[in-house]
Structure 1
Amino acid sequence: MKSEFDIIIVGGGPIGIACGLEAKKNGLSYLIIEKGPIVNSLFHYPSNMQFFSSSEKLEIDEIPFISNEAKPKRDEALEYYRRIVTSNKLNMHLFEKVENVHKNKDSFTTTTDKNTYTSKQIVVATGFYDIPNLLHVPGENLDKVVHYYNNPHYYSGQKVAVVGASNSAIDAALECYRKGAEVSLIIRGPEVGQRVKYWVRPDIINRIQEGSIKAFFNTTVKSITKEYITLATTSEELKIPNDFVLALTGYKPNFSFLKKLGVNISNDVKKLPEYNSETMETNIEGLYLAGVICGGMETHKWFIENSRIHAKMIVKHIISNSVTR
């Protein structure tokens, strides 16, 4: 098994795949390492999820993405990216977890749970979906509390508290309500998030106004028990019966992994990693970032449609460096 490459790409999502395609087109040896299946994060999206972006904006390497509607569904995206990987015979190791990356003098050693590899460059394209933003309240470790939502059927006939104001929380609240759940929506701010999909936001507002979904604004979760969830509003404390809590409060990149690699991260709330915006190279020579991980805690900043260009930028810089050295 080959263990030496020009580029090791950590993460087999759309941007990691784009980096692999670009490396292959330019004659660079590469390996994409993904800890789960192809586009692991997309696989764990809710089963009925519809993208905000239209299909052409999700395309990589100008490979057409044809969907039934203008905005594709999760399963259509899985099919699209899977076919790209298989038809292009991309060199990708699945269900292999990167455990450590060590910087040598002029190379990197990458150790996984299955093998050890060396490469001249490393591209980190690990996204942000693996680590949820926790509530940090008593009872969050109960089995009834989940940070990932899949299918509303599971919650039919149950009292469900959905925590959050963005797309994932609003989609879950609407779907669970329509499958027969009694839904309470817990929102920390004064309104439904402004970045909620424009065709969904009026729907949730109407359901709230008619009383189909009970919304608690300017409210936080204080504690969770097997039978109840306790809320803190601006004026009082409420204890309401509850069967399940969907804590869909967002996710964050694996900052500890970046720090372990030596990447500088800002000390403010944004936690922005240091990289050159023209080359995507970090403060560590030969180590690049690609995709949503570049935004730190600003996970709304980078998407597939505006970060797919990172692949071309990275490979262009790698090739130019190899020519000048």
Structure 2
Amino acid sequence: MTTQPKSQHVIKVAVKRRRKGAFIKDYQLYLLMILPIAYFILFKYVPMYGAAIAFQDYNIFKGVTGSEWVGFDNFRELFAMSQFYTVVRNTLILNLLDLIFSFPAPIILAILLNELRVVWFKKVAQTVLYLPHFISWIIIGGLVYQMFATKNGLINNFIESIGLPAVPFLTEKTNWLFVYLGTGIWQSAGWGTIIYLAALTGINKELYEASDVDGAGRWKKIWHITLPGIRSTIVVMLIMQLGHIMTIGFERPFVMGNTLVMDYAEVISTFVYKAGLKSAQFSLATAMGLFQALVGLVFVVGANAIAKKFGEEGLW
């Protein structure tokens, strides 16, 4: 009658000793985890306290604890604004277009780089492709205006020199959209190849050798070996991208936008900047940010569930 509880106690003691021994053995690794954990606590979890502003008539002098609670009034006011639906629509459109055109770009580049056989050229190509990622969007915006401005832009100067009329790249909505998407691909595609190149190194080289014996060409190898080999990585990156479908960076639309293309350029991040900082409507801006985060969470959970149904690993 007493042997089972004793055996369970012995097992628990053994497990505790094993865990303690593992901690002592690898204590350096646990110490290294202190900094990233502290970073996430200080800069990710502690700021969540500020989400309470969305449910308050926030007064900067009274602070979060002293401001009056108004429930969901800020959300009702937000949803009643016509501008709200415009910025949500623009954010979704720009992110969906980025998903369609920008998401495949690093995959294609990684496969092309992987197929290169001249080592020095491959290294030079990687360096050239990575560089735009380290350039500030302020500088990129200046370059875009120097290249595509209707007056004195390099491209339009060339177009006019051959007798054709200047093209309003930055002032006509459709043209601006193409410039916006193209600039985003140029800036991010090279850096995005890093993850896929790492995934490509995990593909068994014997598969390529076997395909050589079977007489498979380069395109068949890519289609039947390379792409299936990085499929799980592509799915995970797609799920993460879908989680940001309602999140858009501030610098890119703010720098590249202008009053003539506000029907496309006004997005959630610029709306929050104008409402929160320029108009001091902190509660309204926080409500928009919280709405944006909740929609992103729904997209991540939904995309992960769909990936699981199709037999992929997903995020969790």
- What is the TM-score when the length of structure 2 is the normalising length? 0.23
- State the TM-score, normalizing by the size of structure 1: 0.23
| Bigger radius of gyration among the two | 2
Structure with greater contact order relative to length (CA < 8 Å, sep ≥ 6)? 2
Higher relative helix content: 2
